[in-house]
Amino acid sequence: MSWLLAIVQTLLFMALSPLLAGWLKWCKCHLQNRRAPSLLQPYRDLLKLTRKQPVVAEHASWIFTRAPYIIFSATVLAASVVPLIAVDLPTAASADVIVMVAFFGAARFFLALAGLDIGTAFGGMGSSREMTISSLAEPAMLMAIFTLTMTASTTNLSFAIEHVLNEGLVLRPSFVFALFALILVTIAETGRIPVDNPATHLELTMIHEAMILEYSGRHLALIEWASQVKLMLYGVLIANIFFPWGIAQSFSGAALGYGLLAIVGKLAVLALILALSETLFAKMRLFRVQEYLSFAYLLGLLGMLSHIILEAAR
Amino acid sequence: MNIEQQDFYTQAILSMSALVGLASFLMLGQGRLLRLIFVFAIQGLLLTLSTAVAAYSLHNPHLYISAGLTLVLKVLFIPWMLRRQVLAMAMHRDVEALQNKTLVMLGGAGLTVFSYYVLHPVVQTASTVMVNALAVSLSVVLLGMLLMISHRQAVAHVVGFMSIENGLFFAAIVATNGMPMVVELGVAFDVLVAAILFGIFFLHIRTSIDSLDVDRLNRLNEVDQ
């Protein structure tokens, strides 16, 4: 039963993530006085791409054609670790949050390799930028998550969220810092506006897009889908760690339905906030990104420190 | 006692104190005057919130008046006035090159540790919230002084001075559960007068040395020319 639920939950991750991307685009268009595409547009795009024949460059090695599958499966495996509508997942027993970050690392490694593989200038530039940013973002993310795991004294996401739930409403200074740090890291890791512009057509400013310029057809569809799953995954992390109320603690139908409703509502609000910040802020210069990420790291570190100093038993 | 066992007031005050301390650090590393003033307004807002929380949980209605005063003075009026002056003197485009920013930040961290070190024996017998919140407010005072030392613009000095006052105010709320109304009114009025006086000083400094960079006050006009 619980394994079935884990599989259903992972499938939900895959099914709902294009909808989240569509909703984000819809909010953004309305905020910027543009006509919004339908909420289902990302699904249509993915479907259209899967029907097209992928064009592979002459000099591409096997890495280039295998990478989309590896990236997609690593991202989906990472998603299976995160509790979406119910805590107490069987997958949680075998993989904790550090494994999740490692899955992301593996996906990113292959994406960067694929960018380098073709040998175009833009691909290599995108890979080098992506690696620079992620090497700064990853410690910041781990710091933010360690704050949670130190509070719950487990690195297991399911148990940690359950711990936060059972504790009730406790205002923790460390969680405030960790929340801000995780939001900053999310924006950097999913390539949203102050760091990277997902809708750009100018190759020189691209980061994520530069690596996948050569992809087409179903390969591109898989990579796009993986990045949508990744965006949703970060959203779920923020929503369920810091505002876990509503998530199902038992496997009854009503609790699960309520959990699904709660997470959809939370993600909709988070996407609205993201769309608002993307409308208000301009993309920053590439060399300012390390300043931004070191601020995120500082926030994570402060969260950890305030856990030790302000919340310690005396 | 762990934080889960504390009451809501303690948790809220601890969270606020962490954010107030963070705001002080942000001010310390800020080279642009308008952003400095903005962070100062945020710190004022945090003070307002913590005063309101204290008023609510301690059933002390006169603290609401104090919260309102803080809101009007430190979040709206003083930042607005400083901002207007910066814009009028066209200094909002200058980025102040902080000498040795890293060293200043490290110094700030050292000051925070120092204030813990100083206060720990003094209030050891009191509650957790006392030790932590008092230590944070002492470090806000010291960070305000460091801000005045490390920045060169006179406007930044005024912001540093006001943030020292913020630290004292926070300590007063936490330690005394609200001072007598007369004292609070007096302090608020003092801050207001100080802000206006500083505005006049800005004009004087500017007319005499044609800049608000206080490093240039070290040189005597007559000797140099």
Q: What is the model's pLDDT at position B224?
A: 54
- Provide the angle, in degrees to the nearest 10, between the axes of the packed helices A289-309 and A173-189: 160
Q: What is the model's pLDDT at position B97?
A: 64
Indicate yes or no: pTM above 0.90: no
- Which of B1, B2, B14 would you mutate first to test chain A, the one with the most A CBs within 10 A? B14
Residue A44 lies in a domain: yes
Beta bridge partners of B185: none
B-facing residues of A in 168-187 (CB < 8 A) are 170-174, 176-177
Model-level ipTM above the cut of 0.85? no
Contact list in A for residue B39 (CB cut-off 8 A) is none
Nearest to A157, CA basis, from A98, A97, A104, A100:
A97
pLDDT at residue A131 is higher than 80: yes
pLDDT below 70 — which residues of chain B? 1-3, 96-98, 123-126, 128, 178, 219-225
With CB atoms and an 8 Å threshold, state whether A172 touches B11.
yes
- Provide the angle, in degrees to the nearest 10, between the axes of the packed helices A253-280 and A2-31: 30
Q: What is the model's pLDDT at position B222?
A: 61
Question: What range defines the domain where residue A176 resides?
Answer: 2-56+81-97+136-199+228-309
Helix, strand, coil in percent for chain A, rounding step 5: 75, 0, 25
Contact list in A for residue B101 (CB cut-off 8 A) is none
With CB atoms and an 8 Å threshold, state whether A171 touches B128.
no
Q: What is the model's pLDDT at position A314?
A: 53
Distance separating alpha carbons of residues B30 and B98, to the nearest angstrom: 9
Partner residue opposite B18 with nearest CB, options A167, A170, A173:
A173
- Counted domains in chain A: 1
Across the range A65-93, mean pLDDT stands at 89
Contact list in B for residue A172 (CB cut-off 8 A) is 3, 11, 15
- Provide the angle, in degrees to the nearest 10, between the axes of the packed helices B154-176 and B8-28: 170
Q: What is the pLDDT of residues A196-218, one digit of tens each?
A: 888 888 888 888 888 998 899 99
Token pair of A243 as six digits: 């505002």
Q: What is the pLDDT of residues A109-128, one digit of tens each?
A: 999 999 999 888 899 999 99
Nearest to B119, CA basis, from B161, B174, B165, B160:
B174
With CB atoms and an 8 Å threshold, state whether A171 touches B12.
yes
With CB atoms and an 8 Å threshold, state whether A311 touches B18.
no
Per-domain boundaries in chain B: 8-219
Q: What is the pLDDT of residues A163-172, one digit of tens each?
A: 888 887 888 8
B-facing residues of A in 151-170 (CB < 8 A) are 167, 170
Nearest to A163, CA basis, from A174, A149, A184:
A149
Residue A120 lies in a domain: no
pLDDT at residue A303 is higher than 60: yes
DSSP structural state of residue B29: T
Distance separating alpha carbons of residues A197 and A201, to the nearest angstrom: 9
Contact with chain A for residue B131, Cβ under 8 A:
yes
pLDDT higher at B193 or A43: A43
CA-nearest residue to B4 within chain A is: A170
Across the range A66-71, mean pLDDT stands at 95
Contact list in A for residue B15 (CB cut-off 8 A) is 171-173, 176
Residue A282 lies in a domain: yes
CA distance B26 to chain A (A): 10
With CB atoms and an 8 Å threshold, state whether A311 touches B1.
no
With CB atoms and an 8 Å threshold, state whether B15 touches A172.
yes
Q: What is the pLDDT of residues A209-265, one digit of tens each?
A: 889 988 999 999 999 999 999 999 999 999 999 999 888 888 888 888 999 999 999
What are A299-302's contacts with CB under 8 Å, separation 24+? A299/A140, A299/A144, A299/A177, A299/A178, A299/A180, A299/A181, A299/A184, A300/A139, A300/A140, A300/A141, A300/A142, A300/A143, A300/A144, A300/A146, A300/A147, A300/A177, A300/A178, A300/A181, A301/A143, A302/A177, A302/B18, A302/B22
Q: What is the model's pLDDT at position B1?
A: 53
Partner residue opposite B19 with nearest CB, options A172, A176, A314:
A176
pLDDT higher at A45 or B4: A45
Across the range A181-188, mean pLDDT stands at 94
The mean predicted confidence, pLDDT, of chain A is 90
Contact with chain A for residue B130, Cβ under 8 A:
no
